[in-house]
Amino acid sequence: MCDDFNRSNLIDQCYKFKDINVSNASKFGKVAVLLGGKSAEREVSLDSGKAVLEALVRSGVNAEGFDPKERSVTELVNYDRAFIVLHGRGGEDGQIQGVLEWLNIPYTGTGVQGSAIGMDKVKTKQIWQGSELPTAPYRIVSQETDLTEVVATLGLPLIIKPVHEGSSVGMSKVEKAEDLANAIEKATQHDAVVMAEKWITGREYTISFLNGQPLPVIRLQPPADVAFYDYDAKYMRNDVEYGIPCGLSAEDEKQLQELCLRAFQAVGASGWGRIDAMQDEQGQFWLLEVNTVPGMTSHSLVPKAANAMGYDFDALCVAILEQTLAKETH
């Protein structure tokens, strides 16, 4: 469970946001909900953005959808603040954050540098390693890499990932050495930089953050026919099991929350977000990656974790938007 300090803080915030009304919502002015974009995660972003937009409107906020693929970002000068629900490149990598900084428009979530680092799996790992935080061994690979040496170093199975994609786009679990080249080719279709990562056998967990504090841990249990929590499991299937409570002891859950909070802060992430982690068969926790603009669809994990703290979806969206008011004072 969350420690008492975090839990009481978040519960107080929850009741605060449940009481919002139309007159209170006017303090936000005109809000652009940034959705869609041009990345491989466009469809997920449209779903997330639609859900967030509807929640804010229900809460009395003067919000409009804004798709940077369809409109010039210079039109954002007509808004008072932005709720970023752009997943992947262009929206989660510091680009749109830089535009908003230049236009002096407060926005939700992590800033330019933390977004750029969080979108780069290798840079994220380098920072975690430098901070002595546990993350799985990896290698940058290409078609020219000595794959025999990669297998000798990382072992099998391993996982191949595009370095700059999210939502498990282009990822493959490799169990046989002869399948490695094809997995790298698949990942290269999505990104010029590809990494091989040691496969951690064990339980997968996700830790969400709201206002910089960890929410209850969720255990992810994909169906038996799925190798890992991939794109289909995240967005298309309804047979993934979500464990809340997560099944860890109170001590282990607190340890995992504290580890992930350090990892979240180390890359410069702030506000809200999510970190994915594993616990291996020996009980050791391993950090996988950070997500600075998590999904907000019906299948998404941050709403599930927030709901365990008493936040309904509308209150969660307003709570995230509230973070932009604090940015105005800095």
Instruction: Tell me which residue of 260, 266, 268, 274 sits closest to 305, measured CA to CA.
Output: 274
In angstroms and rounded to an integer, the radius of gyration of the C-alpha atoms of the chain is 20
Q: At residue 165, what are phi and psi to the nearest 5 degrees?
A: -120, 160
Instruction: Tell me which residue of 67, 179, 163, 170 sits closest to 124, measured CA to CA.
Output: 163
Task: Specify whether the CB–CB gap between 210 and 319 falls below 8 A.
Answer: yes
> What are the catalytic residues?
41, 167, 235, 274, 276, 289, 291, 295
- The Cα angle at residue 134 between residues 129 and 140, in degrees rounded to 5: 55
Check the CA dihedral 21-23-28-31 and report its sign: positive
Task: Specify whether the CB–CB gap between 84 and 66 falls below 8 A.
Answer: no
Calpha distance 253→235 (Å, rounded) = 26
- Could you say which DSSP state residue 26 is in? G
Burial (0-12, 13-18, 19+ Cβ within 10 Å), 224: exposed
- Which DSSP helix (H) or strand (E) runs through 319? helix 313-328
Helices (H), 213-312: 231-235, 250-266, 301-308
